[in-house]
A and B are shown apart, each in its own frame.
Chain A
């Protein structure tokens, strides 16, 4: 309950000048004190006295009452009295205190919008509170929360700064003029020439440029210019249209041209082809001369591979079981984050034929615990997906959502779209989410805190992935089992041991500049995430894990699941081939541990190919006791194979159980017991991907999303 003091009462109560009660001074956070100009300073008969410059303001009274759980009395004081009291309690940092001009502008904006009835008191109050936390422009906050439209804000700014506006929605630019301002400057300042005469350029800007920016622009243009305020969304679309060709070129060819040896545009190198052919000839010759011995040798080799991969995974899992290898970020640390210091965060969301999911996606991104004014969300659409593009346009999203239309060209892959979006990214950090992803709301803040805590060579932080529709059917439950094992046990152990981590498809958070340095994603690799994880390791960078989960939609239909999984397996083999072109280079870049870890991780794809062969031999032997099978498994080979059959299989089943228990998904432990059936599907998909590696290596098997609620789309 808040009351305001009358002038008669004023004389009876203590004043700020009598001093601030030590127990009360931190009752209201600094941001709110400065924004609303209030300061709690005394308690009288259970009532907290709060000095206020505008004691009659309802919003101020409401905000103060929400933060103090006792009766409150607003006592009118002068601005100077309050500001000096705030400065005494919270010594001001020069860069963080609002200048008088900025405060005037903010108040002017608030008054303009409230008096014209464009926003309600409630909306203003929320916006002011967010301002008190972030210090971001009030108008931007209001637009980001869709309290007003961008056009209204531009009109208000135009009024305040006495600048002309320009509408760019249907503007057809003259490319020569528009490209007079180099793309990096256009991106950095959000500005683009829209017309030019011999001695003047008309420059559309999102916000008035400061003097330094203006000088830089004038030098680049080589002519004086006049600024015209434009709608940020329209301006962004125009910049994209003008520079589309450049972005498309870079997103496709950057890695291929700067680091051709790391690009999967050629799947099997000349040297590898020669080695493969040579090996094949040797095997065939041996088969002719020593058929049984050769087959035994091959069986032994496969069994050994299987055994080593199994032991490696088991060792990793044991290490992670129950311990906490992720970078720790506590709730208290998240609550203590000073939002004024939060960086801009880019979220890349590749979309393909997923129009139906867009509303849910927007809702979930807006639910993130991160100031919307510091979000830079790139909705990456393909040019031929008009339905999704139209859907996004029709939603008239606030400017922290950016529609990015990737020109239609080959290869049409998710990594190419991400590369395209990365060129437009303005965030210090960036992350990929799929359209159907539901990250934990505090994930971005956790990542920011974690980046500040980990070693300098960590440029990527991987969050955990799991599924929100795990209970939909047996397949989704198995998928959740698998992810629990992978993200709760295996990846944390790999991260802790500084092994190269095959990144998950989404929720990998990067330092944007480092990602660009690395050449971003390989558009020709169908598991670009795994490939990038290895590449950054080769460059001496590392990946850490955080204990935050992004829930995805698990594929709930077998054919759809097979398509997705076949792509993953194809990509794993592709990635292995790319990085093993020069094994000794890889060894020297990653060290022995990294080299072994990489090969054993990628070896999983080969193990999945072997599974059906061994299962078939075992089944055939049980039912027929065929002598030739017995012949293939002499002595030690038989022991290894038996260990894998009885112990290895059990261990992998149990690791699925353990992953689910570790995650606290108790309802999934039953289904984990049936996971050998799931392995059958995995092997089916592995063979499909393996065959496709030769027949259609760059083909991106599309996955349909939205099967959980019927809003199906493809990515």
Chain B
């Protein structure tokens, strides 16, 4: 009787550390709970954000810029996908593009809070699912989410349309998937984490730090569990492939379109900056980092040592990794300054990812505490509640910030912040843009009839809801736009120009017109921040050759 060895699937998988092709021992799916959490937080943040943005006039212009680009994706003539540009990570704009399908949603500014609320909602769903896997009971889960959701920093960035929650949502989702992978050993979660990090990478480049650390963690944990080299390599490749692909693709696109493969790093900047780059000593950075954590995410002060203790002293590798991740989140702002990778150093918004990772760490500590999980969760809730008034108070005075102070003032006084100044000296408010937009909407109907430098006047463009009426840099790229700028009468009827020299190239060319000193270019309508100038037929520019040449050399 002959016997043969056929490699059975079971034999092939016998040495595999992870769970493959089997149902994992996991918490049951509760899509309805996830949906309710999402709807609650998205709805609450949208509603609150509408009040903050529309009534209190606390609005970041970066959000308006991205919404204007989203409008151009659908409503420019012709529609322009390239409007997403290279200034922001592409998905920061693309993911909110659906909000701009209907112009009214954007011009009413209702889309502004929704643009961040959706992603804050996703973040809360990911945290809730993590807590379910940590076996934290329902009432404590919801209490923790509410305590976190009511944190004033979280509120500010979840309600004012900023892009930070876009990448944070996917980074936290990736962390949640890795959390699930560690708990269940199910290889599926590695794939989901990989995809989530890929989206996060194109929504915010900061997430790449967490991605790299996660890739190292996946390999290290597998190796520690006794996986062979093939399994470690295959899993890490599977995890890293999506992010590597999107970054490679984006680099190639930068190379093809901008002739600079790293433009996505060098050209990326924040629309709303702090007071500019200062000289920081090591002591300054250390103190800045300490203040950032103390004021913005005090929970991390407790969670970080607890994670490291649990990880190193109790042999809890996932706690170690979360500790490393939290430490990286804390050190990243200082490192960015030290490496001169930012023109907005030590901003308070950097505390948001620190706070969220600290919460993830706390959830893991609760799970690791087993019988003590309820106590740990309870302590976290108390900590988060205590930090609410503390952080709110610090937002009013913290030195490096965007709209923290006006936001804090708005929610403590209930008064509109129109005309108020940020700590860095910028004016808060949007009345000037709304007035100009309304005038254009009512008086200009011809497409491509207003020449404008959209890099400076995006807020007005967005509020008109009609990007097709503007001849901007996106329409036919920079070259033709500059030609039109030299001879506007041949192309347009008007020019929309900023009233301050903040980089508006038309302002540089037609400063006299902005000041009302050009006899040929009459101001049709003026607001404190913009002028709409009529361009008569046969107008011949008086700008000097040098100015034109300067214009051609401008970025």
Contacts and interface: CB of A to CB of B under 8 A. Distances in A.
Partners in one complex: yes
Interface of A: 123, 126, 145-147, 321-324, 331, 363-364, 366-367, 438-442, 468, 488, 547-549, 551, 622, 634-636, 638-639, 642, 646, 650, 653-654, 657-658, 660-670, 672-673
Given A441-B6, A622-B256, A668 B234 contact: yes
Contacts of B13: 664
Interface string B188-226: 111110110000000000000000000000000000000
A341 B456 CA distance: 81
> Which of B18, B191, B194 has the most chain A CB atoms inside 10 A of its CB?
B191
Nearest to B249: A646
Nearest to A668: B234
Interface in B50-102: 78-79, 81
Interface residues on B, range: 35 or more
Contacts, number: 123
A551 B7 contact: yes
B21 A547 contact: yes
Contact of B16 (A635, A642, A664): A664
Interface stretch (B164-172, B235-243, B356-364, B369-377): B235-243
Which 4 A/B pairs are nearest by Cβ-Cβ distance?
A322-B188, A666-B234, A664-B20, A635-B79
B4 A488 contact: no
Given A548-B9, A661-B235, A321 B21 contact: no
A147 B2 CA distance: 10
A654 B6 contact: no
B516 interface: no
B426 interface: no
Nearest to A321: B188
Contacts of B9: 440, 547-549
A588 to B, nearest CB: 33
A366 B4 CA distance: 8
Contacts of B10: 331
B79 A662 contact: no
Contacts of A639: 79, 81
Interface of B: 1-10, 12-13, 16, 18, 20-24, 78-79, 81, 186-192, 194-195, 230-231, 233-235, 237-238, 241-242, 245-246, 249, 256
B20 A663 contact: yes
Given A441-B8, A662-B20, 12 more contacts: A322-B187, A438-B7, A547-B21, A638-B79, A653-B245, A657-B237, A661-B238, A662-B187, A662-B188, A664-B18, A666-B16, A667-B234
Contact of B234 (A438, A441, A646, A669): A669
Contact of B78 (A635, A658, A661, A670): A635
Nearest to A122: B1
A650 B235 contact: no
B191 A321 contact: yes
B330 to A, nearest CB: 32
B4 to A, nearest CB: 4
A296 to B, nearest CB: 13
A668 B237 CA distance: 10
B179 to A, nearest CB: 15
B79 A322 contact: no
A438 B249 contact: no
A439 B195 CA distance: 34
B191 A664 contact: no
Given A322-B186, A635-B79, A363 B4 contact: yes
Contacts of B241: 653-654, 657, 669, 672-673
Contacts of A673: 237, 241, 245
B230 A667 contact: yes
Contacts of A666: 16, 230-231, 233-235, 238
9 contacts: A322-B186, A322-B191, A363-B2, A442-B8, A547-B9, A642-B81, A650-B246, A657-B238, A667-B230
A373 B101 CA distance: 69
A620 to B, nearest CB: 14
Contacts of B245: 650, 653-654, 673
A188 B153 CA distance: 82
A203 to B, nearest CB: 33
A324 B23 contact: yes
A488 B230 CA distance: 20
Nearest to B8: A440
